[in-house]
Amino acid sequence: MKSSLFLASQSPRRSQLLTQLGVAHELLLPGPEEDAEALETQLAGEGPDAYVARVTTNKLWAALERRQQRDLPERPVLCSDTTVALGNDILGKPADDADALMMLQRLSGQTHRVLTAVSLAWWEADTRREAQLVSVSTVRFARVPDAVLHRYVATGEPQGKAGAYAIQSQIAGWIERIEGSYSGIMGLPLFETAQLLRQAGWDL
């Protein structure tokens, strides 16, 4: 039975959710020499589903190389990526407050998808195995007044968040309904994560 893994994510929410599952872990974060943001660059003509799967795979491979370069033990490596899609448009992390406001104005009064991919690598008899699952949820925003959006952007909360919002923040008061995985919308779908961990030998 596995006991601990490396989490390749800078998101404190993902760490908290993994702890909720009872999985011991330590962070495996990029060094200053790595351009982690470059991994999230969208390819021309790439849709949200293909994008989130590719980016998460690339993040996993980068983390595996990082583990090897740092001469760390062959513990499983977990990573995840969340993408907000309005139609076929990907709304990534906002570049600045103006970009965040524009994204939120687009989401206001609309239903969008939140896709979160989870990838896990582990070793069995000196053979590395990899698996990935994707959680897809829908989120419906009520029509949000511009004054509310301006105040929300001013809190700084949208920065670093796909789609410029966090579902566990004050903006949740304007979310009419969700369908799917609340933890997936937060950034780490617990059902899919548990499935991957059981496949790798965890007894959850």
| Residue 184 pLDDT class (50, 70, 90 cuts) | very high
End-to-end CA distance of the chain: 10
pLDDT value at position 86?
Answer: 97
- Could you report the per-residue pLDDT of 14-23, keeping only the tens digit for each? 999 999 999 9
Whole-angstrom Cα distance, residue 200 to residue 12? Answer: 24
* Contact of 24 with 202, CB cutoff 8 Å: no
- What is the second-level CATH architecture of the domain 4-199? Alpha-Beta Complex (3.90)
- Could you report the per-residue pLDDT of 116-146, keeping only the tens digit for each? 999 999 999 889 999 999 999 999 999 999 9
81 flagged as catalytic:
yes
* Contact of 195 with 124, CB cutoff 8 Å: no
| Residue 37 pLDDT class (50, 70, 90 cuts) | confident
What are the distances in angstroms from CA 181 to CA 109, 129, 171, 194, 201?
A: 21, 26, 18, 13, 24
20-34: string of b/e by CB count within 10 Å (b at 16+)? eeebebeebebeeee
Q: Which of 71, 81, 99, 146 is catalytic?
A: 81
